[in-house]
Structure 1
Amino acid sequence: MEEHTEIPEKSVNNESPGPACEQGARRKGIIREYAESIVIAILLALVIRTYLVQAFKIPSGSMEDTLAIGDHLLVNKFIYGTRIPFSGATFLKLRDPHQGDVIVFEYPEDPSKDFIKRIVGAPGDVVEGKGKKVFVNGKPYENPHEVHKEKEVIPKEMNPRDTFGPVTVPPNSYFVMGDNRDRSYDSRFWGFVSRDKIKGLAFIKYWSWDREKFRPRFGNIGRLIN
């Protein structure tokens, strides 16, 4: 009589994962997608902020009435050329800063602070103030946005606010002033802004908040800065 030995088959689990496993996998996939989206968004924001456009808020009245306290601005960071980190090289440069530009820059006396002023004198210009009137290279500097809110004229011996100079702007430097002439702390007091301290050109107001009246200034929103 012939014997037959049965060889047991290996057990193979062909069952599909249960509902709990499927939900867990979907949840992990969604979390990973969200994480990737957040990382990409952060990287894009860093690139845009570093090389293209940055937002700034006006904290003081030195540029009134051009810029009011509570105005929020966008600053073009590549128009003057974007600096490559850890080198002095620049790229994407469209033009040099020139007279009349409203610029954001590192405050020379405290680089941790950003200031915003208007360029009055470019490299090589001779700038002088005489009784609240500004002259560049011997000619009156015409600025339609300039305002004076103090009638008193301060002598040069006491304060350079109304009478100063003449001073010659050094190479790679700029003489800047606030449009609110009598209430601006600027190049008349602390000197020049070097080219490498300029962060960009202020070009548009994207938001404006009147903190005294506690309401938006809708007329300022979307207005170009000139």
Structure 2
Amino acid sequence: MIKKIIKTFAIAFISAILIMVFILQIVSINGPSMLNTFFTNDKVIVEKITYYFSSPKRQDIIVFKYAGNTNEKYIKRVIAVENDKIKIADDRVYVNGKLIIEPYAVYNPDNNAAKNNDRIHNFPETVVPKGTVFVMGDNRYDSLDSRFKDIGFVNKKLIIGKVVMRIYPIDKFGKV
């Protein structure tokens, strides 16, 4: 009887580890870059399998490793994919010449750091290189994202996965 319990527990434990390593990961949000979609301390589930078989799509919310320090993770929204033309003019985002309607985007006029930083408001038309995506935080005046050299175009190899569900806080539990 005890051997059976130990065996069942061991199988469950190993299965849970395999799922967390290869299929799903829980990520805690830290910082304001995805406001009002996510807030600091929100917990989300990142699904890791999809991008082994397909490429990220526009509007996917992804978690990726920062190229400058792969121990750091960022969460951003995919705005443009490889071969797309991306352009930002006066806070308006264009992909392949078409204005993107972004009801999720937040522009906080009280952010003094953003007022004098042209890179936040404008980005010259550029083709997204092969094997990369262009990402932005939903909180446009407070997000380190593809508009800046520190992040730049995100190599698909650095993408951990796609955010599929918020699990905390409980009152916001559900699909993203």
Calculate the TM-score normalised by the size of structure 2: 0.88
CA distance in 2, matches of 1:150, 1:167: 26
3-state SS of paired residue (2:36): coil
Contact 1:154 1:163 in 2 (8 A): no
In structure 1, what is the equivalent of residue 81 of structure 2? 122
- Matching residue within 73, 98, 119 for 2:44: 73
**Equivalent position amino acid for 1:206 in 2:** I
Alpha-carbon shift at residue 45 of structure 1 (Å): 1.9
CA distance in 2, matches of 1:33, 1:114: 40
- Matching residue within 127, 135, 143 for 1:184: 143
2:164 is aligned with 1:203? yes
Calculate the TM-score normalised by the size of structure 1: 0.70
**Equivalent position amino acid for 1:146 in 2:** A
CA distance in 2, matches of 1:41, 1:136: 46
Alpha-carbon shift at residue 102 of structure 1 (Å): 0.3
- Matching residue within 37, 51, 54 for 2:25: 54
Unaligned runs of 5+ in 2: none
In structure 2, what is the equivalent of residue 194 of structure 1? 155
CA distance in 1, matches of 2:66, 2:5: 39
CA distance in 1, matches of 2:35, 2:29: 10
Q: 1:104-152 CA distances to partner (integer Å, 9 max, x unpaired)?
A: 1111221101111000010011111111111112211222211101267
Q: 1:158-193 CA distances to partner (integer Å, 9 max, x unpaired)?
A: 541111222211001000000111111000013111
In structure 1, what is the equivalent of residue 171 of structure 2? 219
In structure 2, what is the equivalent of residue 113 of structure 1? 72
Alpha-carbon shift at residue 96 of structure 1 (Å): 2.1
Supply the RMSD in Å over aligned alpha carbons: 1.9
3-state SS of paired residue (1:121): strand
CA radius of gyration, larger in: 1
**Equivalent position amino acid for 2:49 in 1:** F
**Equivalent position amino acid for 2:172 in 1:** N
Runs of 4+ in 1 over 3 A off after TM superposition: 32-39, 151-155
Alpha-carbon shift at residue 48 of structure 1 (Å): 0.4
Unaligned runs of 5+ in 1: 1-28, 82-92, 209-217
Alpha-carbon shift at residue 58 of structure 1 (Å): 0.4
Point out the structure with the larger strand share: 2
In structure 1, what is the equivalent of residue 120 of structure 2? 161
Alpha-carbon shift at residue 36 of structure 1 (Å): 3.6
Contact 1:123 1:174 in 2 (8 A): yes
3-state SS of paired residue (1:161): helix
CA distance in 2, matches of 1:80, 1:65: 26
Alpha-carbon shift at residue 35 of structure 1 (Å): 4.6
Number of matched pairs: 172
Contact 1:148 1:180 in 2 (8 A): yes
CA distance in 2, matches of 1:166, 1:146: 20
Identity %: 30
CA distance in 1, matches of 2:76, 2:132: 14
